[in-house]
Amino acid sequence: MWIYKAPSPLILATLSFLVSLDLENNNFSGFLPHEIGNLHRLRKLRLSNNLLEGSIPPTLHNCQKLVVLFLYGNNLNGSIPKDLCMLPRVRAIDLGSNYLMGTIPSSLGNMSSLEYLYLYHNSLTGAFPLVIFNLSSLKILAITGNNLSGTLPVDLCSHCPNLEGLYISDNKFSGKLPSQFNNCRELLVLSLSYNIFHGNISKGFGSLKKLESLYLGGNNLIGNIPPIISNLSMLQGFYAETNNNKGSMPSDLWRLHNLKDLVIHSNDLTGTIPQNIFNISSLQILNLLNNSLSGNLSFDTRIPCPNLGSLFLDGNKISGRILSYLSNCSNLVAVDLSGNLLSGPIPRSPGNLKYLKIFALADNQLTEESGHQE
């Protein structure tokens, strides 16, 4: 593998008319020279996915025409320069997947043109500056995988109505989840998982009409999963695993005709699994393991479950027989029904399950021979 040094100060000093510098996906190493601030006409700086190290030059704020700053996927360290806020035209900043430390400067909340802010997978600490939520232009905020703390505004999009994606998973945010989303008319992805949020999942989530993915897993959430979740007609993924949610599953989840992933494992859900969940033809993953769900595992023989690939129901209290028409779900790759109360014989024929790789039935009350088929 060839390793190349970052552009030298001497070269940069001669490029005063440079408008765009794109060296992404190479093997450039070394430090970003301070002379990069001399490129007063520069609009786009793309140096992502290299081997650059050291700190981000504070002289960058001299590039007053800069619109795009992409430095993700390097070995940059140090702090985020406070003077980045002096770049009046910047619309997109991506500093993700580096080793940046310290706090996020509250001065970033002054960048009135900023639409995309990616700071994911660094070592950032301290309280997240809520003033950033005052940026009316903000569309994407991605700070996943840091050590950031703080709370979220009760009315999440009151000052940033154009927000399309909020990614704050794998941090140390606490407090209650937002309860008002009336202004979040554009929100597509809300990723709040693996923080320290507590309390209930509020009914306010039901107003997120465009939402496609909702990640709430790995918190300390309690109470029922509100039935109003079934109103999110565009929802493709609902993840609320590893919480303390109780009660039964909403009976109207079948209305989510675009749902692909339903992951609510490791809670304390009770009652039966609504059979009409299997009416969702788009469903690919159903993971309800390690709850207290009971009743018979039953499928309507007329329902083909054409896209269901993973069915994880292990560690519940499901009883009855393993029905042969499970084979109607012809794309199943993994089925885990272990640790339940299933009884009777295992069907002799796997039917249409030609893609099946994992079939786990341990710790049930099954018999060896099948006397007849269902």
pLDDT range class, residue 369, cuts 50, 70, 90: low
pLDDT range class, residue 53, cuts 50, 70, 90: very high
Contact partners, residue 283, CB within 8 Å, separation at least 6: 259, 260, 262, 277, 305, 307, 308
Nearest Cα to 134, choosing from 152, 117, 119, 112?
112
pLDDT range class, residue 306, cuts 50, 70, 90: confident
Looking at residue 359, its pLDDT comes to 92
β-strand partners of 200: 222
- How is residue 355 annotated by DSSP? T
Give 131-150 pLDDT, tens digit per residue: 999 999 999 999 999 999 99
| % of the chain exceeding 90 in pLDDT | 82
Residue 221 CA to residue 256 CA, distance in Å, equals 23
Looking at residue 16, its pLDDT comes to 83
Looking at residue 324, its pLDDT comes to 62
Please state which CATH number belongs to domain 1-150: 3.80.10.10
Nearest 5°: the CA angle 233, 237, 239 is 125
Token representation of residue 133? 């939520």
Looking at residue 130, its pLDDT comes to 97
Q: Is 2 exposed, middle or buried (0-12, 13-18, 19+ CB in 10 A)?
A: exposed
